[in-house]
A and B are shown apart, each in its own frame.
Chain A
Amino acid sequence: MTPRAVSSLGFGLGLRPQHYPVILDGAPELAGAIDWFEILSENYLVDGGRPLAMLMAIRARYPVVMHGVSLSIGSTDPLDMDYLARLKGLAARVEPAIISDHLCWTGVAGINMHDLLPLPLTEEALAHVAARIDRVQAFLGREIALENASTYVTFTQDSVPEWEFLRELHRRTGCRLLLDINNVHVSAFNHDFRATDYVDAIPREAVAYIHLAGHEHNGTYIIDTHDRPVVEDVWQLYAHAVRRFGPVATMIERDDRIPPLADLVRELAQARSLAASALSRPAEVA
């Protein structure tokens, strides 16, 4: 499996159907503003129609990353080989720079809860997930990237922090990490640890790309809603991450209450300039 030069991807956005027309119109203000798009893989695991046609038209102009939500790498149900075959078929058409999903499970007993559910952080879970990553990577013929999900509970059996769990998965399987900076911030608040401890424990070469997003703060806990702009604390954590990881592919992820593309482009420009200044003046920004 060849490592990919993902740092060269630059700054991207999650592709959302509301934005198909303005992206394909090629509005001049978009020129150079968006380097790549991340697609939600499941939306295109279909047989035909407008979504696939739009995707292929956009793919002709931009690099694309495939991001899934149904791999369920941590589930104790068997791997869904039919799903994986469809994913592989889509990858053959799209030729994505990266294929990613989440460190989570989405259901057992044949049910899909359509949520990113938390795993106990134990040696048993680590061995289970690592073995499944090996099988998935062998089947797809390439490495995958796994994202840290926001979590709201921890397990009494937990024996390692999440960052060690991820680091060990990377070490055992060669899988990459999709580091969601917002999710680190959310989980840090929800579980009372320091977000920078998490970021500082992630090996530089493990990070495939970074997600930035917004959330909803309820006072005593934070819900990862991905439905609003990135908050100041997350920007600061991002600057910290860039100083640690160097130039790393970064994108803004908005899943709900989707604003006009121009708003997201503005937020992406903010990420771009923050990363540039974090890299050029590390001490000052710190």
Chain B
Amino acid sequence: MDLSRIEHTFQDGLLGRSQDILRQLRGNARESAETMFAVYRNAYWSRLAEALGNDFPALKALMGDQAFDRMARAYIARHPSQHPSIRWAGRNLPAFLAAEAPYRDEPWFTDMARFDWGLAFAFDAAAAPAAGLANLAGVPPEFWGSIRLRFHPTLDAFPVSTPVDEARPRLLENAAIALDRQARCARAIMVWRVEHDVRFRAIDPLEHAALEAMQAGATFGAMCELVARQAGLDAAPARAAQILQGWLEWGAVAIVEHDELGSAA
């Protein structure tokens, strides 16, 4: 066997796809090649499962150690790591849980995985200074409609159907806590980082729709129209302004842009 064949066959052995590598291996004076190769195979699966446990601590607390370990191994079999850092091994886990039986029948799992992942992402994503309310104060009233936002590079926002934002801190404190697993809600969670501190906040579906629109480049004017369609014309201006101010107050926005006198209308 040439080196490439050796490596592919060795890896197939670790992944449980073939035993052919054993004929190429030696154990020692006390143990067979099979026993010694199993050191590598066991280490592979347990290392990946442990890494997932570190990146998805609340999901692990929610599922319980044994069920999490079983799930992690099924996930790893389907999605081997392709990144130099083991920290990205769980990238496809929320989607896996949403698609695979039996996990897809429990929305808490997908939601919690998504939440854990958002927090892990924000932890060491690119840094940027945050804009503040002062950046709004300088905008002449006639140009408010033209405001566009560039959000903080750590910002992640996703809808959930279970109150994982309330449950997560309690679960991490005590994995045995009784949760109402029937509880459902309609909300989204925003996660971002201020300096070195990761923050999160639950927002309602209207605010999430406004956020997605402005993340896609919509102006504040367009966002107001979106809010008006759902909240009504009377309530819209105050509600839209309140949403915008919130994002700025919380440090979720990096840059506020707007048209100026002399710029294209």
Are these two chains actual partners, yes or no?
yes
In the docked arrangement, what's the CA distance between A120 and B26, Å? 11
Given contacts A120-B3, A156-B24, contact A115 B44 (CB under 8 A): yes
> Is A112's CB under 8 angstroms from B28's CB?
no
Q: Does B81 reach chain A (CB closer than 8 Å)?
A: yes
**Nearest CB to that of A76 among chain B residues?**
B4
Cα-based distance from A279 to B130 in the complex (angstroms):
56
Q: Smallest Cβ distance from B36 to chain A, in angstroms?
A: 5
**Pairwise interchain contact B51-A47, C-beta atoms closer than 8 A:** no
Which segment of B100-108, B120-128, B253-261 sits at the interface?
Answer: B120-128
A195 CB, min distance to chain B CBs, angstroms = 14
Which residues of B33-72 are within 8 A (CB) of A? 33, 35-37, 39-40, 43-44, 47-48, 51
Q: Does A37 contact B (CB under 8 A)?
A: no
In A111-134, which residues have CB < 8 Å from any B CB?
A: 111-115, 117, 119-120, 122, 124-125, 128
Chain A CB within 8 A of B145 CB: no
Q: Does B82 count as interface, using CB distance less than 8 angstroms?
A: yes
Give how many B residues have a beta carbon under 8 Å from the other chain's beta carbons: 50
Known: A47-B127, A120-B3. A153 touches B25 (CB 8 A): yes
Assess whether B124 is in contact with A70, with CB atoms less than 8 Å apart. Answer: no
CB distance from A69 to the nearest CB of B (A): 8
Determine the distance from Cα of A128 to Cα of B6 in the docked complex, in whole angstroms: 14
CA distance A75 to B55 in the complex (A): 27
User: A50 to B81, Cβ gap below 8 A?
Assistant: no
Which of B27, B40, B85, B123 is close to A50, meaning CB atoms less than 8 Å apart? B123
- Contacting pair B24 A114 (CB below 8 A): no
User: How far is B83's CA from A155's CA once the two chains are assembled, in angstroms?
Assistant: 28
Assess whether A105 is interfacial by the CB under 8 Å rule: yes
Interface membership of A58, Cβ < 8 A: no
With A122-B3, A124-B2, A153-B37 in contact, is A114–B25 under 8 Å at CB? no
B84 interfacial contact with A, CB 8 Å:
yes
B40 near A124 with CB under 8 A, answer: no
Cross-chain contact of B36 among A49, A50, A120, A153 (Cβ < 8 A): A153
Q: Pick the most buried of A43, A114, A156, A192: most chain B CB atoms within 10 A of its CB.
A: A114
Interface members, chain A 149-186 (any B CB < 8 Å): 152-157
Complex contact A80–B84 (CB within 8 A) = yes
Contacts of A51 in B (CB 8 A): 124
A residues with a Cβ closer than 8 A to B are 42-43, 45-53, 70, 75-76, 80, 83, 105, 107-115, 117, 119-120, 122, 124-125, 128, 152-157, 190-192, 220-221, 223
Q: Would you list 13 pairs from A and B whose C-beta atoms are within 8 A, ordered by A residue?
A: A42-B85, A49-B124, A49-B127, A83-B84, A108-B8, A114-B48, A114-B51, A124-B2, A152-B40, A153-B40, A190-B28, A192-B28, A220-B31
